Amino acid sequence: MIDFTHDGHIHTPFCPHGTTDALEAYIETARARGMKTLTFTEHAPLPRGFTDPVPDQDSAMPLDVLPRYLDAIQQLKQAYAGEIDVRVGLEIDYVPGFAEETIAQLEPYAASLDETILSQHFLLIEGDYFPVDFSLETFDVLVDRLGSFEAVIGRYYESLITGLAFEWERLNVKRIGHLDLPIKYEKQYVWERKHVKDVETRLLRAIHDRGFGLDLNTAGLRKPDCGAIYAEAVAAEATALGIPLVLGSDAHSANDVASDFMRIRKKATFR
Ligand SMILES: [Zn+2]
Ligand SMILES: [Zn+2]
């Protein structure tokens, strides 16, 4: 069963590409929409030595800001104790080739983290890193490099399977973020999910074997070239395997907290 009162994927004013909306404003929207549990999951600092490939290099908060972020969410947790369950988290990037550095860099903060999400936003192709969800233009470069939309999804899944092998438990990872993120631009391409079914099933089994859950992420509903919920297409198969699903709005503004949760509640896929 999906808990429709838990938003498990929320960004904050500490996000360099988000809004400056105050944390209290996020809480107000959450209350108005009937949320009981909120997990704040700001983009964790990227590993030392990795150069952010997006043009503004603003994918994540810098390492020196992390302690302030953790303090701010901890304070929020205490301020709303008894009213709303605030959890301290991060959205941690699996950057191919940098998993061990990422774990080593963030492990000193692990004791302050209630639960975290592991997400993939970059692909490594022949020695170069490419952003997956930065823009249609940068995504199209990926499709060109790999040959088809399905090839991008396939590579995204294969890369995650490789990434799952690392010791993410040391950072309190509980679930995988927006599993099929490349569908953000799917309306611009002709593709069929059945062509990636084999690798998709292998990935779901690997996630189950590792004991992780999935982030059922409503951000795709707000993207003009998507209109779908990330991971919804695998929700039934994941549930059959015993993989827990946790809703996430991926809000980067106060108004998007718990976005669409009430509307999708009636969907048969989530029963
Ligand atoms: Zn973000
Ligand atoms: Zn993300």
pLDDT in tens, the chain (271 residues): 899 999 999 999 999 999 999 999 999 999 999 999 999 999 999 999 999 999 999 999 999 999 999 999 999 999 999 999 999 999 999 999 999 999 999 999 999 999 999 999 999 999 999 999 999 999 999 999 999 999 999 999 999 999 999 999 999 999 999 999 999 999 999 999 999 999 999 999 999 999 999 999 999 999 999 999 999 999 999 999 999 999 999 999 999 999 999 999 887 677 6
What is the rounded CA–CA span in Å between residue 245 and residue 92?
18
Distance (angstroms) between ligand 2 centre and the Cα of 119 equals 6
Q: Is residue 99 part of a domain?
A: yes
117 CA distance to ligand 2 middle (Å): 9
Domain that holds residue 135: 45-55+75-245+259-270
Spatial contact of 173 and 113, defined as CB atoms under 8 Å apart: no
CA distance 233 to 226: 13
- Domain assignment present for residue 84? The answer is yes
DSSP 12: -
How far does the centroid of ligand 2 lie from the alpha carbon of residue 41, in Å?
9
Ligand in closest contact with the CA of 220: 2
Domain count, the chain: 1
> Residue 133 has which token pair?
């969800």
Residue 266 lies in a domain: yes
Instruction: Report the C-alpha gap between 182 and 269 in whole angstroms.
Output: 21
**Ligand nearest, relative to CA of residue 42:** 1
| 39 falls within a domain | no
H/E stretch holding 240 reads helix 235-241
Residue 121 lies in a domain: yes
Q: How far is the CA of 111 from the centre of ligand 2 (A)?
A: 22
CA-CA distance, 9 to 21, in Å (whole number)?
16
DSSP string, 162-177: HHTTS-GGGGTEEEES
Is residue 10 a part of any domain in this protein? Answer: no
Residue 252 falls inside a structural domain: no
pTM value surpassing 0.85: yes
**Ligand 1 midpoint to CA 43 (Å):** 6
In a domain, 4, yes or no: no
Q: Which residues surround ligand 2, an ion (CB under 5 A)?
A: 119
CATH number assigned to the domain comprising residue 230: 3.20.20.140
